Amino acid sequence: MRTSRKLSHALFSLFALVLMSVAALAADPGQGYPRESEVSDQKAGSVLFYNYYTSDLANPTIQNTRINITNTSSTHAAFVHIYFVQDTCNVADAFICLTANQTATFQTVDLDPGVTGYLVAVAVDPKDGCPQSFNFLIGDLYVKAPAANIPGATGQATFTANLAAEAFAALADTFDTTGTCDNQSATASLVFNGQQNNYNRAPKVLAVSNIPSPADNQTALILLRVGGSLATSTSTIARLFGLLYDDAENLFSFTIPTGACQFRNVIGGSNNIPRTTPRVGAVIPPGRTGWMKIWSVADDNAALLGSVINWAANANGFDGGHNLHKLTLSPTATLTVPVFPPSC
């Protein structure tokens, strides 16, 4: 694990400056969002995944990420363990504590400069740091990255997007510790299987609903594996398998070998990933579109999250990004986290 204590103190000092509190509200109207609903970027949860962050200390105006996290509870404080997972699988961590109705913002160039990867935020018990059922966390990020940060990208491409955090709800009574964890535990397991005292299931098959022609656009595909250990090293994605469709329903299959904790590449970019026959540029010619679905064949339980960010090569195109659609779910995925009391 990369050194974290100095980072934790720096993060807490920064949060002291940027935390904002709003008045507590009465009970919100309408029915509560079902905690049993599967992972989504449109709900609150106890575990948040931020799919992509990056920064460059020398050029933060070109390459940087702004992370936002909010406690939507009007009555209880949130104690959150945040993990910065580098694309090489190294992990750093810090804590953030939010009072009721509090929100916070920080830039990764200030806390984890020069690193690209993803973030995991886990609600924990304030006494022992065990994962806790606290389905009140929401968040999002704003990212900007040059072509150099995305393999296969070329020229002056700049990838910018606002991506909501993917939320997993805990399926335990409110504020109960999830799983089997106590003040003697060194680690705890976050089990994403949709069962009592665990968390919602994680996606197995993801879909990119629209892929513009590589002749007109550069579309960055970003994937991460849900699994492994944040105390040692997260699971790598391993081999990917996918199906690419053109807008006339023709089908083209492909595989992508990868041993990274995070996959980033331009679809049909300069390095021809994915390698279809014919190439993606011929499958989706200028002015046309396609779509694809993709999954990891590492094992039956390999779970993925992902996003796409589009950069238009001309003024008639559109820039922006979104998280990928979830088509199927993994039966179970497990992420191990270190356990120790919050430092804030």
Mean pLDDT across 251-265: 94
Average pLDDT, the chain: 91
Chain segment 320-334, per-residue pLDDT in tens: 999 999 999 999 999
What's the rounded Cα separation, in Å, for the pair 31 and 41?
18
Statement: residue 4 has pLDDT above 60: no
Mean pLDDT across 56-60: 97
Mean pLDDT across 312-341: 95
Chain segment 276-309, per-residue pLDDT in tens: 999 999 999 999 999 999 999 988 899 999 999 9
Mean pLDDT across 67-84: 97
Chain segment 172-221, per-residue pLDDT in tens: 887 777 667 998 999 999 999 999 999 999 999 999 999 999 999 999 99
Confidence of residue 233 (pLDDT cuts 50, 70, 90): confident
Mean pLDDT across 34-60: 96
Statement: residue 319 has pLDDT above 90: yes
Domain 203-332 architecture:
Sandwich (2.60)
Mean pLDDT across 119-125: 97
Statement: residue 13 has pLDDT above 70: no
Q: What is the pLDDT of residue 150?
A: 97
Q: What is the pLDDT of residue 8?
A: 46
Mean pLDDT across 48-74: 97
Identical fold between 5-21+36-199 and 203-332: yes
| Residue ranges of domains in the chain | 5-21+36-199, 203-332
Confidence of residue 114 (pLDDT cuts 50, 70, 90): very high
Mean pLDDT across 135-146: 98
Whether 141 and 66 have beta carbons less than 8 Å apart is answered as yes
* CATH fold for domain 5-21+36-199: Hypothetical Protein Tm1070; Chain: A (2.60.290)
